[in-house]
A and B are shown apart, each in its own frame.
Chain A
Amino acid sequence: MSKASGASLIDLQIMWHRLIAVVEEQAQVLLRTAFSPIVRECGDLSAGVFDLKGRMLAQAVTGTPGHVNSMAESVKHFIAQFPIETMKEGDAYITNDPWMGTGHLNDFVVTTPCFKDGKPVALFSCTSHLMDIGGIGFGPDATDVFMEGLYIPMLKLIDQGVVNETLMAMIRTNTRLPIDTEGDTYSLAGCNDVGCERLVEMMTEFDIDTLDELGDYICDRSREAVLAEIAKLPKGTWRNTMVVDGYDAPVTLAATLTISDEGIHVDFDGTSAASRFGINVPLSYTIAYTVFGLGCVVASQIPNNAGSLSPLTVSAPPGAILNAPKPAPVASRHIIGQMLPDVVFGCLRQIIPERVPAEGTSCLWNLNVRGQTRSGAGGNYGFSMAVTSNGGTGARFAKDGLSATAYPSGVRGTPVEIAETQTPLIFWRKELRPDSGGAGRTRGGLGQIIEVGSGVDAPFDILAAFDRIDHPPRGRDGGKNGEAGYVGLKSGKKLRGKGFQQVPPDDRLVVLTPGGAGIGDPRERAPTAVSDDIESGLVSADNAVAVYGYTR
């Protein structure tokens, strides 16, 4: 604990507030200047500031949890590769290494040293999801990481203000979307510059030359706060298992959660081995979503930083799907990674059922689509886009789940009108899916019905990366399961939940996203809540009678 007191204590508090504002501004600049629709429309990004030891001191709230701890770890890798003393003002470094970055090649991580009076004082880092990085495309079909696209090791992107043109040319040439991909690389570097400028202003105002004392203060206080929350929980060990669809065989996710005085540890021993296909998860991404799930329960009001994250630890056996070694394919690592909060909640509900929701859709139901544009022009290829969409979240103990809402992911849905300006597709339907929310005293959120066809009389590809088709979200305490997801053609053929498939020009893709699961006996649901659901068409009258025992 730092010895600060009186006025300097107040300065430290003020500077902490300021750092959070600085990284928020960094994230907003990234959002405003991004090219990839999934970044600019949906916020698939992260931004943060680190001290020279690589400790994360603040992270923007804008962004998505998959980057929470993974970006933090990546800065340490940068420092190991490029020691601080070799860094120069105007430098910036880049990688998309899934094991040193944020889990797949589509995420570029850019780290920039920040200088004050000629001396390095901090590092700014950010990451965003690029729509295309070449290779087989953004789907799970590859059988090793090299098939998944251009692999950029830790490199200098900018050398004292001079952009690495060789690297830029390599990037442009190896993506189907050269304009977006190059533009996003610039916007990543630009947002770090804005953050650095603001940090230096702050350090000048408070007349400090290093972030050492501030870093200790932030990390100590945050760690203490998380430990104090954990101290309110019973000590012990709890287990939970959840099975999801996987690529070609079901995947078992097994967790052992231990609460002690030192923190909370989650171990994934017993989890299935790595898959042959690109649904594997590098450990950093496993940690990110596990810690996020824990954080929602024990640290929801505590800012993310190295201190608040340190009492929350995770392990998984090497070779497991949650700790897949290089060169495993990992492009669609989010499918399994985003299931991890549900796995954690399954442990926690044994001790604090009122604070954790039932299982939800959990993984994003993105429509990863690709094909020819009307004119055949556009980038190096045609169109290639992830149309972000979601199912329902699990019921909360005292409230229904949220319909068509991302959890745990923090990204926003793609507006249909934006998707249709970026692609020649026509969405014929995108609305709530009645009766999909798992029945219960509190009901799961509803999924969606989506129907898409080509607008240019050409086939298009779907790089399916869906789950919870064979294994829907499970209800608890008498609550029913959420409805399973579905992918098929309008003409009737069922499609696979994972992998490359084609939609013929005269047919349509039909996607039903899953509903969240319910909590408690549906017959205990307040009759007014049931009649509201009937009136609004969220629950059919038949279902209301059969499942909720509703009588008018």
Chain B
Amino acid sequence: MLEGAEVRLAVDIGGTFTDIVLDVGQDRKTRKLLTTPQRPEQAVLDGMRLILADARAHISDIDVFIHGTTLATNAIIERRGAKTALIATDGFRDVLDIGTESRYDQYDLSIDKPKPLAPRSLRFTVPERIDAHGAVRLPLDEAAVRALAPRLRALKVESVAIAFLHSYANPEHERRTAAIISEEMPGISVTVSSAVCPEIREYERTSTAVANAYVQPLIDGYLARMSDALQVEQYRGAIYLVTSGGGVTSIETARRFPVRLVESGPAGGAIFAAQIAARLGESKVLSFDMGGTTAKICLIEKYQPETSRVFEVDRAARFLKGSGLPVRIPVIEMVEIGAGGGSIAHVDAMKRVTVGPESASSEPGPACYGRGGLRPAVTDADVALGMIDPDDFAGGTIKLDPELSKQALLRAVGEPLGLSAETAAYAVHEVVCENMASAARVHAVERGEIVGQHTLIAFGGAAPLHAARVAEKIGVSRVIVPSNAGVGSAVGFLAAPIAYELVRSRHVRLDDFDTDGVSDLLQEMVTEARALVETGAAGAPVRERRAAFMRYVGQGHEISIELPNRRLATTDLAGLRQKFEADYAAMFERPIPGAAIEVLSWSVLATTEARNPPRVADVARMPAGKASGMRKFFDGRAGELIEIPLYRREDMAPGATIAGPAVIAEDETSTFVSTSFDAHIDGAGSIVMERKAA
């Protein structure tokens, strides 16, 4: 190996595959292994050995090891977490069952509600009460807390969550309860809601605390075993964990707040896209990750993925809002919809073509796999339209049968609607693209963005086939398909900054603003967040971002307004008001004249800079060489078969330019260049599609 080069390892443990990426200086190696669910560290260690051998390096050469995992998410989805008890305020045993008191599907009489992670038999209450202002209305009954310990022991409880009303305003009772439980039950996992999620709304806070408690022993055990194993192998570098917010954090913090690890895989994908964006200098990006069963869409502004503060795990009805367990943590904001290459198409009661969320998955797979699948998947539509070369799918390892696709499409879509197999395929393709376009449009608007001003970055097996059409629908004029997108999340991990975000609730009105109190609070948060980040930053500069969540007095939802990185003065208030009103008008059209404004909570993010790659230089365009062949493609709008050229991606040098319609094939996927786009290869090897001049 290269002497003196920095060696960085990234591992993404997914449900099916464990992806490993090793960077030695500028040289990159990748590996994909099957995940070993019982002892996940096994696949990690095996993979490390393999990839180190590939690079002729030794484990002691690794400087940094960055790790993301879906273990926390999967433990929740599969209900494999610890036996978890909840201690709540007297009279509030059932916050988790009562939830939002609503039904996530208005018309379905047979819905099931998400099952709480702490069942009622493991939920206890103690006398205590704090009010909305943080004042003690009823002192904590410490004897009652102590009396719980023998019961918890008898029930073999492994982890305890403590969530009292209004603890975000005054955490004292929760802290004291935690101390007593730890005293009585040394070594037990304890989570307090005011530490994991110090925010108003008892259901979300309690749910988050319980989720943290539920995964804590598992993640703690895994991370301990992993550290030990690495020690045995003489690993000497730093270890970081990727969080759902897209930053990395130390093992210690991850062990305390394991719930922050959920969704680290998709977060890696978003960072990957952010990197591509930085490399190309694209300041407004929509990342579009479409795999076998789902598509995920994320907005990336100035190379930073958009973030949110709430997320749902384990949605009972897979994509329906409100059907999952709410977890209130900093998270990269993504919409996920049931639209992947394996999603099944059918005709509904209104004779509309609909796609997903049901998926053909890998067995039996789409009809064209010839493994007994009889219902048409999105991939079948793509095959029937001529976008995929049936003899060269997945590098030629899977032979596809277009006839089976056409039969399935005809049966499920064509015959009920009186359409040919090809027109049915076109309809399926259009509907799935429209679904994704709708999701992108709604998502952008919820974030106050105009979707058409963005560049689309497409990765995952199915995205490059649909990206051009989605772009047409949402008015996007530039689409990037980066190379080696198959291990995108792990590649993204390598670039993740070391970061930690804190949020605290404290209510202040702009017209009655306690500048000193707020400045002190923010300073305290800055100190805490910086301490968590600086320990791992190894001297790298740490930057902070402060924000206030503001709304008109009387509203229930806030928008985030950035604050200066210094103490606030009364002279700042007019500017804050202006900023809020401008953002509000941009998002919701109508500001409310003269209305008072208030701040509900405050956030501080401490972060090192993301390791963004340098800008890639423009390349001189030249016509691509001869196409490797021609394909028959069904143009649905014109309703006719046309011949389009087929290129191999590896044959196209940087600068090589073609005009759509065309297909660019590679082992992992194919990119469809529609009639309204031209495409070229950039200096970093990405396919760049640009809309033709009108």
User: Would A13 and B352 be within 8 Å (CB), given that A34-B555, A412-B100, A413-B102 are in contact?
Assistant: yes
| Interchain CB contact under 8 A, A302 and B434 | no
Cα-based distance from A7 to B202 in the complex (angstroms): 51
Taking the complex as formed, is A148 at the interface, i.e. its CB lies under 8 A from any CB of chain B?
A: no
Contacts of A404 in B (CB 8 A): 94, 97-98, 101
Taking the complex as formed, is B200 at the interface, i.e. its CB lies under 8 A from any CB of chain A?
A: yes
Please pick, from A182, A193, A221, A417, the residue contacting B201 in the complex, using a CB distance under 8 A. A417
Taking the complex as formed, is B626 at the interface, i.e. its CB lies under 8 A from any CB of chain A?
A: no
| Interchain CB contact under 8 A, B121 and A536 | yes
Taking the complex as formed, is B151 at the interface, i.e. its CB lies under 8 A from any CB of chain A?
A: no
| Interchain CB contact under 8 A, A65 and B201 | no
Cα-based distance from A224 to B352 in the complex (angstroms): 12
Cα-based distance from A406 to B589 in the complex (angstroms): 32
Cα-based distance from A44 to B423 in the complex (angstroms): 42
| Interchain CB contact under 8 A, B200 and A6 | no
Contacts of B418 in A (CB 8 A): 5
Q: How many residues of A contact B (CB 8 A)?
A: 92
| Interchain CB contact under 8 A, A295 and B555 | no
| Interchain CB contact under 8 A, B554 and A180 | yes
| Interchain CB contact under 8 A, A406 and B103 | yes
- Which stretch from A184-192, A327-335, A474-482 is at the chain B interface? A184-192
Contacts of A431 in B (CB 8 A): 91-94, 98
Taking the complex as formed, is B26 at the interface, i.e. its CB lies under 8 A from any CB of chain A?
A: no
B317–chain A nearest beta-carbon distance, Å = 13
Cα-based distance from A37 to B555 in the complex (angstroms): 8
Taking the complex as formed, is B120 at the interface, i.e. its CB lies under 8 A from any CB of chain A?
A: yes
User: Would A396 and B110 be within 8 Å (CB), given that A229-B349, A431-B93 are in contact?
Assistant: yes
| Interchain CB contact under 8 A, A205 and B353 | no
Taking the complex as formed, is B581 at the interface, i.e. its CB lies under 8 A from any CB of chain A?
A: no
| Interchain CB contact under 8 A, A417 and B98 | no
Cα-based distance from A10 to B109 in the complex (angstroms): 31
B350–chain A nearest beta-carbon distance, Å = 4
**In the complex, number of A-B residue pairs with CB atoms less than 8 Å apart:** 218
| Interchain CB contact under 8 A, A18 and B109 | no
Contacts of A183 in B (CB 8 A): 552, 554-555, 592, 595
Cα-based distance from A426 to B135 in the complex (angstroms): 12
| Interchain CB contact under 8 A, B349 and A537 | no
Residue of B nearest to A61 (CB): B106
| Interchain CB contact under 8 A, A179 and B554 | yes
B59–chain A nearest beta-carbon distance, Å = 49
User: Would A455 and B131 be within 8 Å (CB), given that A25-B445, A35-B552, A399-B112 are in contact?
Assistant: yes
User: Would A6 and B91 be within 8 Å (CB), given that A302-B350, A455-B137 are in contact?
Assistant: no
B366–chain A nearest beta-carbon distance, Å = 21
Contacts of B431 in A (CB 8 A): 10, 13-14, 17
Residues A172-230 near B (CB distance < 8 A)? 179-180, 182-183, 186-187, 189-191, 193-194, 198, 205, 221-222, 224-225, 228-229
Residue of A nearest to B553 (CB): A179
Contacts of B201 in A (CB 8 A): 415, 417-418
Taking the complex as formed, is B256 at the interface, i.e. its CB lies under 8 A from any CB of chain A?
A: no
| Interchain CB contact under 8 A, A21 and B442 | yes
Taking the complex as formed, is A430 at the interface, i.e. its CB lies under 8 A from any CB of chain B?
A: yes
Residues B338-394 near A (CB distance < 8 A)? 348-353
| Interchain CB contact under 8 A, B91 and A451 | yes
| Interchain CB contact under 8 A, B107 and A29 | no
B458–chain A nearest beta-carbon distance, Å = 20
Cα-based distance from A180 to B399 in the complex (angstroms): 63
User: Would A10 and B97 be within 8 Å (CB), given that A413-B102, A420-B131, A429-B91 are in contact?
Assistant: no
Taking the complex as formed, is B284 at the interface, i.e. its CB lies under 8 A from any CB of chain A?
A: no
Complex interface bits, B110-137 against A, C-beta within 8 A gives 1, otherwise 0: 1111000001110000000101100001
B155–chain A nearest beta-carbon distance, Å = 11
A316–chain B nearest beta-carbon distance, Å = 23
Interface extent on B, as a size class? Answer: 35 or more
Contacts of A429 in B (CB 8 A): 90-92
Residue of A nearest to B584 (CB): A33
| Interchain CB contact under 8 A, B636 and A7 | yes
| Interchain CB contact under 8 A, A421 and B588 | no
Contacts of A402 in B (CB 8 A): 103, 111, 113
B131–chain A nearest beta-carbon distance, Å = 6
| Interchain CB contact under 8 A, A537 and B120 | yes
Taking the complex as formed, is A411 at the interface, i.e. its CB lies under 8 A from any CB of chain B?
A: yes
Residues A413-458 near B (CB distance < 8 A)? 413, 415-418, 420-421, 426-432, 448, 451, 455
Taking the complex as formed, is B430 at the interface, i.e. its CB lies under 8 A from any CB of chain A?
A: yes
| Interchain CB contact under 8 A, A193 and B639 | no
Cα-based distance from A6 to B353 in the complex (angstroms): 13
A312–chain B nearest beta-carbon distance, Å = 13
A445–chain B nearest beta-carbon distance, Å = 10
Taking the complex as formed, is A473 at the interface, i.e. its CB lies under 8 A from any CB of chain B?
A: no
Please pick, from B110, B351, B552, B636, the residue contacting A399 in the complex, using a CB distance under 8 A. B110
Taking the complex as formed, is B419 at the interface, i.e. its CB lies under 8 A from any CB of chain A?
A: yes
Please pick, from B101, B200, B554, the residue contacting A389 in the complex, using a CB distance under 8 A. B101
Cα-based distance from A187 to B100 in the complex (angstroms): 23
Residues B445-459 near A (CB distance < 8 A)? 445-446
Taking the complex as formed, is B590 at the interface, i.e. its CB lies under 8 A from any CB of chain A?
A: yes
A415–chain B nearest beta-carbon distance, Å = 5
User: Would A421 and B427 be within 8 Å (CB), given that A14-B434, A18-B438, A25-B445 are in contact?
Assistant: no
B337–chain A nearest beta-carbon distance, Å = 11
| Interchain CB contact under 8 A, A432 and B427 | no
Taking the complex as formed, is B637 at the interface, i.e. its CB lies under 8 A from any CB of chain A?
A: yes
| Interchain CB contact under 8 A, B442 and A40 | no
| Interchain CB contact under 8 A, A6 and B102 | no
Residues A251-271 near B (CB distance < 8 A)? none
Residue of B nearest to A388 (CB): B101
Taking the complex as formed, is A238 at the interface, i.e. its CB lies under 8 A from any CB of chain B?
A: no
Complex interface bits, B551-584 against A, C-beta within 8 A gives 1, otherwise 0: 0111111000000000000000000000000000
Residue among A33, A43, A193, A406 with most chain B CB within 10 A: A33
| Interchain CB contact under 8 A, B91 and A228 | no
Taking the complex as formed, is B32 at the interface, i.e. its CB lies under 8 A from any CB of chain A?
A: no
| Interchain CB contact under 8 A, A193 and B438 | no
Cα-based distance from A297 to B556 in the complex (angstroms): 34
Complex interface bits, B498-510 against A, C-beta within 8 A gives 1, otherwise 0: 0000000001000
Cα-based distance from A431 to B97 in the complex (angstroms): 9
Cα-based distance from A29 to B475 in the complex (angstroms): 22
Taking the complex as formed, is B166 at the interface, i.e. its CB lies under 8 A from any CB of chain A?
A: yes
Taking the complex as formed, is B441 at the interface, i.e. its CB lies under 8 A from any CB of chain A?
A: yes
| Interchain CB contact under 8 A, A537 and B590 | no
A331–chain B nearest beta-carbon distance, Å = 22
Contacts of A427 in B (CB 8 A): 91
Taking the complex as formed, is B165 at the interface, i.e. its CB lies under 8 A from any CB of chain A?
A: yes
Taking the complex as formed, is A132 at the interface, i.e. its CB lies under 8 A from any CB of chain B?
A: no
Contacts of B588 in A (CB 8 A): 29, 32-33, 187, 190-191, 194
Please pick, from A6, A301, A390, the residue contacting B639 in the complex, using a CB distance under 8 A. A6
Taking the complex as formed, is A287 at the interface, i.e. its CB lies under 8 A from any CB of chain B?
A: no
User: Would A405 and B101 be within 8 Å (CB), given that A28-B446, A179-B553 are in contact?
Assistant: yes
Q: A34-B556, A402-B103 are in contact. List 14 more A-B contacts (CB 8 A).
A: A7-B636, A21-B441, A190-B590, A194-B589, A198-B441, A198-B445, A221-B350, A225-B349, A302-B350, A417-B201, A431-B98, A448-B98, A455-B131, A536-B119
Instruction: Provide a sorted-by-A list of 25 A–B residue pairs whose CB atoms are within 8 angstroms.
Output: A6-B423, A10-B430, A17-B431, A21-B442, A25-B446, A28-B446, A32-B446, A183-B552, A186-B590, A221-B352, A357-B109, A402-B111, A402-B113, A404-B98, A405-B113, A410-B103, A410-B106, A417-B202, A418-B556, A421-B507, A429-B90, A432-B97, A536-B119, A536-B120, A538-B120
Q: Which residues of A contact B (CB under 8 A)?
A: 5-7, 9-10, 13-14, 16-18, 21, 24-25, 28-29, 31-35, 37, 40-41, 43, 61, 65, 179-180, 182-183, 186-187, 189-191, 193-194, 198, 205, 221-222, 224-225, 228-229, 295-297, 299-303, 355-357, 388-390, 396, 398-399, 402-407, 410-413, 415-418, 420-421, 426-432, 448, 451, 455, 535-538
10 tightest Cβ-Cβ pairs between the two chains A and B: A40-B556, A413-B101, A429-B91, A190-B590, A536-B120, A300-B107, A225-B349, A35-B554, A412-B102, A21-B438
